[in-house]
Amino acid sequence: MQILSFPQITPEIKQLRVAVFHLEQNIPERILFDENDSSASTTHFIVFDQHPVASCRARFYNNDVKIERFCVLKTSRGQNIGRKLVDAVQNHFPKFKLVISAQLSAEKFWEKNGFVREGEEHREADIPHVQMGRKL
């Protein structure tokens, strides 16, 4: 398994987002990509396990690093790939607190990775979310 980071989004990362968020979760494709993908404050991460299996982006947000578009391909879940990706982001930004607007359905995953609730539940893309963060 290999985790790489890039200053720009790649075709493989686009495909992973579409597979998980659009085809699986029915989120409209147009809101999966935005200006933050090409911002200088964004780093893109991708996990390869023979082929691309997971990705996310991380960007400076206030004084923290915000994780977004975090996804593991359905067929690759339950193998600690998500956990390794979170660790890779933290290792890339060792001095920064990580924050996320987490899908409620994934809250336990984030808790298991040391994140705690830091805000109210809200809806994004018509999906319940909650603000979470991980103290350094």
Ligand X SMILES: CC(C)(COP(=O)(O)OP(=O)(O)OC[C@H]1O[C@@H](n2cnc3c(N)ncnc32)[C@H](O)[C@@H]1OP(=O)(O)O)[C@@H](O)C(=O)NCCC(=O)NCCS
Per CB under 6 A, which region of 10-18, 41-49, 107-115, 118-126 contacts ligand X? 107-115
81 touches ligand X by CB under 6 A: yes
79 touches ligand X by CB under 6 A: yes
20 touches ligand X by CB under 6 A: yes
Contact 132, 104 (CB under 8 A): no
The candidate with the shortest Cα–Cα distance to 71, out of 133, 30, 27, 8, is 27
98-103 sheet: strands from edge to edge: 2-6, 42-49, 51-61, 64-72, 98-103, 127-134, 116-124
The site map against ligand X for 33-72 (x = CB under 6 A) is -------------------------------------xxx
Q: Judged by CB under 6 A, how many residues of this single chain contact ligand X? A: 19
83 touches ligand X by CB under 6 A: yes
Cα torsion through 101, 53, 17, 102, rounded to 10: -10
Give the separation between CA 55 and CA 72, rounded to whole angstroms: 7
32 touches ligand X by CB under 6 A: no
Contact residues for ligand X (CB under 6 A)? 20, 70-72, 77-83, 100, 102-103, 105-106, 108-109, 112
